[in-house]
């Protein structure tokens, strides 16, 4: 809930500071916040089912509640949306078709495999059956996620470094710090999730990392938008465009 609160604050800051942004960016922020709010609601419902309505019911703990599965699916939707946003950002920076195609393929593959896992969860109603049948697609999902997050961070870092000039060195350095920092953070968490499911497949430890991961994705997208004003302050002329809009508030930096 703490990270959800941070997300709400970031959404408020965004709409306060960037009223002239392109309408598509505003829709993106609104969609991320709405979907993440629904995700949080399903998590609260799942906690209520297990911890309050089912208090002391050990049999219930062996079963998968529908609201928990719904929250998982919504979390994958959030991560898919954020991945599309970051893929678009890669296109803005480097204009490399191969990079965009690679990241799109990884994002779609990750979402499809994750949705297959959720479908298996609805079909097999117990955690034991779910583990037996969904272990492979879950592992593939996390493996693709690790590779995708690392690839996105490396591609952005490389092409940002290539754009470095004498005038924009300070700006590019700040952008590189952000890109590597956020990319490394999500990569570390998803790697820990992958390690946990490989090392301890008979437990639900990996779920705890997944619950944190989706909020890290949502917050990283909002952070990338809200940092633009700070990044422009030292040298306004060094900004790098995020869109084709001519207004300064629509630029990435």
- Per-residue pLDDT, 235: 45
- What is the count of structural domains for the chain? 1
Q: Report yes or no: 66 and 94 within 8 Å, Cβ to Cβ.
A: no
Identify which has the larger pLDDT, 238 or 167: 167
Q: Across residues 144-171, what is the average pLDDT? A: 76
**Domain membership flag for residue 142:** yes
Give the predicted TM-score (pTM) of the model: 0.83
Chain mean pLDDT for the chain: 83
For residue 248, tell me if it sits in a domain. Answer: no
Residue 193 within any structural domain of the chain: yes
Q: If pLDDT is split at 50, 70 and 90, which confidence band does 128 have?
A: confident
Confidence band for 82, pLDDT divided at 50, 70 and 90? very high
C-alpha distance from residue 200 to each of 23, 213, 232, 252 (Å):
45, 19, 46, 41
Half-sphere exposure in the Cβ direction for 250 (13 Å, CA)? 13
Is 19 part of a structural domain of the chain? yes
Domain assignment present for residue 245? The answer is no
On whether residue 20 sits in a domain, the answer given is yes
Domain membership of residue 253 (yes or no) is: no
Task: Give the pLDDT confidence of 18-60 residue by residue, as tens digits.
Answer: 998 999 999 999 999 999 999 999 999 998 888 888 787 888 8
Domain membership of residue 249 (yes or no) is no
Range of the domain at 187: 1-228
Say which residue the tokens 């309408």 belong to. 23
Q: What pLDDT digit, counting tens, does each position of 169-226 carry? A: 666 666 666 666 566 788 888 999 999 999 988 888 888 898 889 999 999 889 888 8
Residue 153 has what DSSP assignment? H
């Amino acid at each position: 809930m703490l990270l959800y609160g941070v997300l709400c604050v970031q959404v408020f800051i965004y709409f306060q500071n960037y009223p002239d942004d392109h309408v598509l960016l505003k829709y993106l922020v609104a969609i991320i916040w709405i979907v993440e709010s629904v995700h949080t609601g399903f998590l609260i419902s799942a906690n209520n089912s297990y911890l309050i309505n089912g208090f002391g019911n050990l049999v219930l703990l062996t079963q998968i509640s529908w609201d928990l599965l719904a929250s998982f699916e919504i979390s994958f939707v959030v991560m898919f949306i954020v991945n599309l946003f970051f893929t678009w950002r890669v296109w803005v920076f480097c204009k490399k078709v191969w990079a965009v195609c690679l990241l799109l393929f990884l994002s779609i593959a990750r979402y499809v495999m994750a949705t297959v896992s959720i479908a298996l969860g609805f079909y097999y109603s117990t955690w034991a059956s779910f583990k037996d049948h969904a272990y492979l697609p879950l592992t593939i999902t996390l493996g693709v996620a690790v590779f995708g997050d690392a690839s996105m961070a490396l591609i952005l870092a490389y092409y940002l470094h290539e754009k470095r000039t004498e005038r924009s060195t300070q700006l590019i350095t700040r952008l590189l710090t952000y890109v590597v920092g956020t990319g490394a953070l999500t990569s570390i968490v998803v790697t820990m999730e992958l390690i946990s499911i490989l090392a301890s497949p008979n437990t639900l430890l990996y779920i705890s990392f997944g619950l944190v991961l989706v909020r890290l994705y949502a917050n990283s997208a909002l952070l990338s938008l809200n940092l633009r004003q700070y990044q422009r302050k030292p040298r306004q002329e060094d900004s790098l465009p995020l869109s084709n809009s001519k207004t300064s508030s629509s630029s990435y930096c």
